[in-house]
Structure 1
Amino acid sequence: METQKEDIRARKDDRTWGFLAHLGGVIGQAFFSPVGNIIGALVIWLFKRNESKFVDIEGKEAVNFQITISLLMVALNIINGIAWGVWSFTHFLVNEPFVRHGHWDTEFFFTFGFSKVIWAVNLAFSIIAAIQANKGNHYRYPFSLRLVK
């Protein structure tokens, strides 16, 4: 009877660590934005992956999703840099240098809006995954690069 209670506690502990692995990305992003999302999920996975197969699977899934989110943000920043560069250069050639004409709103909204959408997607899917892990279910994100195997 005592061994059954220990097994149940261990499984509950595994579910808790799986839950934290999925939320680690969101928590890490809140404290250290550029790569905190990867670090948050990675730290939990690295410390607990050898103790539980469940935590190993959920941790890898969380790390892969956070890497995907970070790559999307990097791509968005590159596109934004190119767009701002082209916009600035063409306005410098066509208009008086360093005079604002009010057209920067579109570029700002494009970048700010998409980065917030990516953040919201990260938050939503991480919460869904954390809830599923806490129930003891494996969760596979709908889009994610599988870089960590």
Structure 2
Amino acid sequence: MTYTTESEARQWATFLHLSLLAGLLLPGAGFILPIILWQLKKDELPGIDAHGKVVVNWLISALIYGAVGGLLVFVLIGFPLLAILGLVSLIFPIIGAIKANEGVLWRYPLSLRIFS
């Protein structure tokens, strides 16, 4: 692997993790953009496929946790659960991006392993 390819792969992996935060600027972009980036670059750059699976696993996990939290709002425990989910949905992509920039694949805690 050449230095340029490794550097480029790290850069795209960083973008992939940070793309989860795109939903803060444009509703829905945090779901669509990571999947598009993953699909465009997974065959071109080594390691991107693994990062893409981690990101999509977190997307699916967060949707499931959000649905459960939404249902639990009726018994009031859903409010703190949704607040915690919102916080970790902000923190995990940032940590993932930092680790990706260092060349490390970081699996998000609490993430269901749907794609492996």
TM range (shorter): 0.7 to 0.9
> Cα deviations across residues 18-43 of structure 1 (Å, max 9, x unaligned)?
011111112235421xx543323211
Shift of 1:74: 1.2
- Are 1:25 and 2:45 an aligned pair? no
- Are 1:130 and 2:97 an aligned pair? yes
1:97-112 mapped onto 2 (5 Å cutoff): 107=76, 110-112=77-79
With normalisation by structure 1, the TM-score equals 0.68
CA RMSD of aligned residues (A): 2.1
* Alpha-carbon contact 1:41-1:66 (below 8 Å) kept: no
> Cα deviations across residues 37-81 of structure 1 (Å, max 9, x unaligned)?
33232111111111123111111111111211111111111222x
1:81-100 mapped onto 2 (5 Å cutoff): 83=74
Q: Looking at CA atoms only, which structure, 1 or 2, has the larger radius of gyration?
A: 1
> Cα deviations across residues 61-115 of structure 1 (Å, max 9, x unaligned)?
11111211111111111222xx27xxxxxxxxxxxxxxxxxxxxxx4xx544432
Runs of 5+ consecutive residues of structure 2 not aligned to the other structure:
none
With normalisation by structure 2, the TM-score equals 0.85
Between 139-148 and 35-44, report the one with greater CA deviation.
35-44
1:1-149 mapped onto 2 (5 Å cutoff): 7-32=2-27, 35-80=28-73, 83=74, 107=76, 110-149=77-116
Runs of 5+ consecutive residues of structure 1 not aligned to the other structure:
85-106
Aligned-partner Cα distance in 2 for 1:28–1:21: 13
Count of aligned positions: 116
